[in-house]
């Protein structure tokens, strides 16, 4: 198996990597100062000129960029090149109103393909691979991001996109797909439909896969691996920074290497903005080091992770970030307690009789928040006596309450009643008018 896609960069000694980062940071700061009025103003307000940033420590002098800044400069206001240099646009849907628009020069696409080739190599992809790419093609970055990485490697890519699940399974079987790329929730849905169709993982040739675009627990990873018969690695990215391929797990499966020759990483306390040392959870902040069309300085991702101290036995020298526990903004505050959907998922997957399909519903009754978890139970359990179901409901409730420290309601629902997603799963319905 090919170990690395680009050993020179992936295994670069840290001192060399740092020198490269500093040179690229200086270039990026110059670029935004001269090309993006928003950044020129922001630097001038702090009394900074383009040459005041020389080392990585100087980063602290720079302001943060937020999703709101992108929104305020919709659609192209933060671009650092004329539109004639932009060869691709993508957009991510916001929770409210307008999407966030991102642009790429030819060189940006080249960097993207490079980091995706590194990621795909991590899960075992080579020139011989048949890559079944079920991330959505379109404005979403998942489909085309994986696509160009796969082509860069020279693998065969099947651009199947999302949907038509039964047909996807037929294609995987008949075309001999060896690598699967899609959201983890869709991977589980594929497994479920496969089982219904009477197709076993042994009828397929899957060996590895990259799953991301949404958080998933370790238990969910185990299920994906067991039911599809492959090695499932976590891949992270966001449109604003480039798309998928910002960070990826290696086969050691203990954290995601963030490609530091292109993305400079910090973890901050989301309340105070202070940088946190490795080993502490906080908000991930990224500065792009090579982006031409849309360079971003200290972009606040709202994703919560930490830098994992220590070296990785795989030989890659790029720092690792921990699997994501959630976002600062999908965090629910229920009666003053912070709740991440991933905590509830962990509990549900520990309990054998439930399916990994659930919905979290939040209501406000009077002054009080109520949290209800709908859980699908397995077919064989649902046909059981009512008493058994009541017992299971009670068990789930107690275990969730123990983890969260607040009272919750649990409702068991029939198999296949919770809507499946082809892309990112919707896990939370918040009826509160906050
Ligand atoms: O989701 C890019 C992507 C596509 C990543 C395919 C991986 C695979 P956006 O639509 O802009 O881009 O959404 C970015 O999704 O800020 C995270 O909150 C979440 N996210 C992405 N990957 C992961 C992951 C793509 N592995 C937002 N674990 C990010 C947890 C993830 N959350």
SS3 sequence of 332-348: EEECCEEECHHHHHHHH
Would you state the pLDDT for residue 56?
A: 98
**φ, ψ dihedrals at 283, nearest 5°:** -90, 135
Would you state the pLDDT for residue 44?
A: 98
Q: What is the CATH number of the domain that holds 358?
A: 3.30.300.30
Would you state the pLDDT for residue 434?
A: 59
Would you state the pLDDT for residue 265?
A: 98
Same domain? For 275 and 202 the reply is: yes
Would you state the pLDDT for residue 388?
A: 85
**DSSP notation for 149-181:** HHHHHT-EEE---S--HHHHHHHHHHHT--EEE
Same domain? For 76 and 201 the reply is: yes
Same domain? For 174 and 300 the reply is: yes
Same domain? For 347 and 315 the reply is: no
Would you state the pLDDT for residue 309?
A: 96
Same domain? For 221 and 296 the reply is: yes
Same domain? For 395 and 313 the reply is: no
Strand partners, 194: none
Would you state the pLDDT for residue 379?
A: 84
Q: Report CA(384)–ligand 1 centroid distance (Å).
A: 39
**φ, ψ dihedrals at 117, nearest 5°:** -65, -40
Q: Report CA(254)–ligand 1 centroid distance (Å).
A: 18
For ligand 1, atom 21, name the residue with the nearest CA: 213
Same domain? For 270 and 195 the reply is: yes
Q: Alpha-carbon distance 391 to 385, whole Å?
A: 10
**DSSP notation for 234-276:** EEEEETTTTEEEEEEE-TT-SSEEE-TTTEEEEEE-TTT--B-
pLDDT in tens, 304-352: 999 999 999 999 999 999 999 888 888 888 887 888 898 899 899 888 8
Q: Report CA(383)–ligand 1 centroid distance (Å).
A: 38
Strand partners, 127: none
Would you state the pLDDT for residue 189?
A: 92
152 close to 392: Cβ distance less than 8 angstroms: no
Mean pLDDT for 222-240 is 97
Boundary residue ending a domain (303, 328, 353):
328
Would you state the pLDDT for residue 68?
A: 92
Determine the straight-line distance between the first and last CA of the chain, rounded to whole angstroms: 52
Boundary residue ending a domain (298, 328, 358):
328
**φ, ψ dihedrals at 87, nearest 5°:** -110, -5
Would you state the pLDDT for residue 332?
A: 87
Mean pLDDT for 239-254 is 98
pLDDT in tens, 46-86: 999 999 999 999 999 999 999 999 999 999 999 999 999 99
Judged against a pLDDT cut of 60, whether residue 1 lies above it is answered with: no
67: which 2 tokens? 């999703």
Helices (H), 284-419: 341-350, 379-382, 386-404
Cis peptide before 75 (omega within 30 of 0): yes
The domain containing residue 402 runs over which residues? 332-430
Q: Alpha-carbon distance 301 to 237, whole Å?
A: 10
Same domain? For 307 and 338 the reply is: no
Mean pLDDT for 3-19 is 98
Q: Kindly list the protein residues whose Cβ atom lies closer than 6 A to any atom of ligand 1.
A: 92, 135, 140-142, 212-215, 234-239, 243-244, 301, 303, 324, 327
Mean pLDDT for 396-422 is 93
Q: What is the mean pLDDT of the chain?
A: 94
Same domain? For 243 and 112 the reply is: yes
> Which of the residue ranges 230-234, 243-247, 313-317, 360-364 would you say has the lowest mean pLDDT?
360-364
Q: Which atom of ligand 1 is nearest to the CA of 239?
A: 11
181 close to 134: Cβ distance less than 8 angstroms: yes
pLDDT in tens, 102-125: 999 999 999 999 999 999 999 999
Question: pTM score, two decimals?
Answer: 0.91
Q: Report CA(99)–ligand 1 centroid distance (Å).
A: 15
Q: Alpha-carbon distance 27 to 285, whole Å?
A: 19
pLDDT in tens, 150-181: 999 999 999 999 999 999 999 999 999 999 99
Same domain? For 93 and 79 the reply is: yes
Helices (H), 306-376: 341-350
Helix (H, G, I), strand (E, B), or coil: what is residue 371? strand
Helix 386-404 crosses helix 341-350 at what angle (to 10 degrees)?
140
Q: What is the CATH number of the domain that holds 57?
A: 3.40.50.12780
Q: How confident is the model at residue 96 (pLDDT cuts 50, 70, 90)?
A: low
Boundary residue ending a domain (297, 328, 359):
328
Would you state the pLDDT for residue 98?
A: 79
Find, among 217, 226, 147, the residue nearest to 191 by Cα.
Answer: 226
Find, among 381, 339, 288, 365, the residue nearest to 62 by Cα.
Answer: 288
Same domain? For 291 and 357 the reply is: no
Q: Cα separations (Å) of 99 from 7, 39, 64, 70, 71?
A: 37, 21, 20, 10, 8
Number of folded domains that form the chain: 2
Mean pLDDT for 83-104 is 87
For ligand 1, atom 20, name the residue with the nearest CA: 213
163: which 2 tokens? 């949907």
Same domain? For 365 and 243 the reply is: no
Q: How confident is the model at residue 215 (pLDDT cuts 50, 70, 90)?
A: confident
- Among 134, 236, 330, which residue has the most ligand 1 atoms within 8 Å of its CB, making it the best to mutate? 236
Neighbours of 44 (CB within 10 A): 11
Would you state the pLDDT for residue 99?
A: 87
379: which 2 tokens? 């077919």
pLDDT in tens, 352-369: 888 889 999 999 887 788
Q: Which residues contact 110 (CB under 8 A, 6 or more apart)?
A: none
Would you state the pLDDT for residue 89?
A: 98
Q: What is the DSSP letter of 89?
A: E
Beta strand pairing status for 130-133 and 179-182? parallel
């Amino acid at each position: 198996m090919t170990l690395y896609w680009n050993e020179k960069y992936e295994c670069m000694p840290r001192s060399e990597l740092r020198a490269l980062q500093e040179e690229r940071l200086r270039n990026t700061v110059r670029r935004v100062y001269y090309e993006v009025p928003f950044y020129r103003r922001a630097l001038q307000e702090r009394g900074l000129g383009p040459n005041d940033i020389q080392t990585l420590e100087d980063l602290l002098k720079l302001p943060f960029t937020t999703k709101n800044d992108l929104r305020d400069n919709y659609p192209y206001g933060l671009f650092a090149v004329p539109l004639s240099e932009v060869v691709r646009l993508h957009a991510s849907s916001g929770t409210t109103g307008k999407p966030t628009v991102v642009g790429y020069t030819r060189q940006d696409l080249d960097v993207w393909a490079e980091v995706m080739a590194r990621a795909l190599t991590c899960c075992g992809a080579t020139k011989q691979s048949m890559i079944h790419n079920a991330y959505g093609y379109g404005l979403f970055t998942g489909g085309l991001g994986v696509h160009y990485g796969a082509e860069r490697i020279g693998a065969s890519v099947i651009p199947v996109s999302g949907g038509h699940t039964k047909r996807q399974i037929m294609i995987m079987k008949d075309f001999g797909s060896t690598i699967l790329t899609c959201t983890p929730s869709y991977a589980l849905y594929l497994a479920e439909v496969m089982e219904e169709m009477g197709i076993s993982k042994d009828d397929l040739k899957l060996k590895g896969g990259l799953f991301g675009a949404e958080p998933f627990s370790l238990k969910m990873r185990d299920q994906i691996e067991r039911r599809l018969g492959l090695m499932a690695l976590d891949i992270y990215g966001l449109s604003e920074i480039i798309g998928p391929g910002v960070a990826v797990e290696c086969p050691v499966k203990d954290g995601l290497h963030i490609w530091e020759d292109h993305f400079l990483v910090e973890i901050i306390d989301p309340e105070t903005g202070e940088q946190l040392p490795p080993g502490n959870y906080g908000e991930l902040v990224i500065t792009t080091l090579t982006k031409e069309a849309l360079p971003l300085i200290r972009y606040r991702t709202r994703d919560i992770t930490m830098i994992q101290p220590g070296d990785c036995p795989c030989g890659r020298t790029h720092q690792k970030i921990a699997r994501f526990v959630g976002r600062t903004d999908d965090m629910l505050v229920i009666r003053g307690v912070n709740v991440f959907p991933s905590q509830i998922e962990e509990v549900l997957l520990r309990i054998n009789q439930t399916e990994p399909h659930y919905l979290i519903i939040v209501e406000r009754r009077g002054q009080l928040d109520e949290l209800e978890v709908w859980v699908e139970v397995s077919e064989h359990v649902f046909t059981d006596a009512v008493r058994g179901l009541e017992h299971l409901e009670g068990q789930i409730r107690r275990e969730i309450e123990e983890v969260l420290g607040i009272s919750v309601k649990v409702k068991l629902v029939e198999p296949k009643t919770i809507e499946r997603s082809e892309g990112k799963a919707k896990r939370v319905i918040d009826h509160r008018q906050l």
